[in-house]
Amino acid sequence: MQPVTKLALREVSKEDPLKVCFVCLGNICRSPTAEGVFQHIVNRDGLSALVEVDSAGTAAYHVGEPANSKSRMIAEQNGVSLTSKARKFEYSDFDYFDLVIAMDKENLRDLQRLDRKSRHRDKIFLLRDFDPVPGDKEVPDPYYGGINGFELVFEIVMRSCESLLEVVRPHVNS
């Protein structure tokens, strides 16, 4: 499958920025990495007034915790700071966010189950829907593995977020 290169998005302004929420299971490894990376490249490109970035988890195990120390270390080595505190994704988030971007297929299914009337299905994606490198569409869960898994997450997230920004850019140029 080809990556997604076009999105139907509303008109975005400084008064009403584009709102993007990245979602994984615990909100301590993958989605905080995606939040930090996307915020970093949004800032780099001078778009911070037009794009709001957040993350959340489908589970509540780690609510209130900072990002995993290995996730933070790899991000710092790449000039990205992860500042999120874990929270659970709530149904009301579907109303607030324009894009809800899941890290793996289980997260996607959990989000689709929460959106039981399919009112928000057009705003739910997998991050790797935007990945120019073909694969299984998942950002693999690094939680129980070694540092290599966290490095792989960062690499996939960085390249997918760069592509995501290119897809949203036509909608957020001031």
Task: Please tell me whether residue 143 binds ligand 4NP under the rule CB under 6 A.
Answer: yes
What does the alpha-carbon distance between residue 70 and residue 134 come to, in Å, rounded to a whole number?
26
- Find the binding residues for ligand 4NP in span 62-81 (CB under 6 A): 62
Binding ligand 4NP (rule: CB under 6 A), the pick from 20, 22, 27, 70 is 27
Per the residue annotation, which of 93, 129, 141, 161 is the catalytic one?
141
Task: Please tell me whether residue 141 binds ligand 4NP under the rule CB under 6 A.
Answer: yes
Q: Residue 24 catalytic? A: yes
Distance of CA 109 to the CA centre of its chain: 16
Nearest approach, Cβ of residue 153 and ligand 4NP (Å): 8
Q: Say if CB 5 and CB 167 are below 8 A apart.
A: yes
Nearer to ligand 4NP, 97 or 150 (CB): 150
Residue with the CB atom nearest ligand 4NP in the bound state: 26
Strands of the sheet with 124-126, listed across from one edge: 51-57, 18-24, 99-102, 124-126
Nearest approach, Cβ of residue 141 and ligand 4NP (Å): 5
Task: Please tell me whether residue 91 binds ligand 4NP under the rule CB under 6 A.
Answer: no
Q: Residue 115 catalytic? A: no
Strand pairing partners for 51? 18
Q: Is 115 helix (H, G, I), strand (E, B) or coil?
A: coil
Query: What are the angstrom distances between the C-alpha of 169 and each of 25, 28, 107, 128, 134?
Result: 28, 27, 26, 18, 22
Per the residue annotation, which of 24, 93, 98, 104 is the catalytic one?
24
Q: Say if CB 138 and CB 15 are below 8 A apart.
A: no
Nearest approach, Cβ of residue 166 and ligand 4NP (Å): 24
Count Cβ neighbours within 10 Å for each residue of 90-120 and write b for 16 or more, e otherwise.
eeebbeebbbbbbbbeebbebbeebbeeeeb
Nearer to ligand 4NP, 129 or 141 (CB): 141
Positions marked active-site: 24, 30, 141
Question: Which residues contribute to the site for ligand 4NP (CB under 6 A)?
Answer: 24-30, 61-62, 141, 143
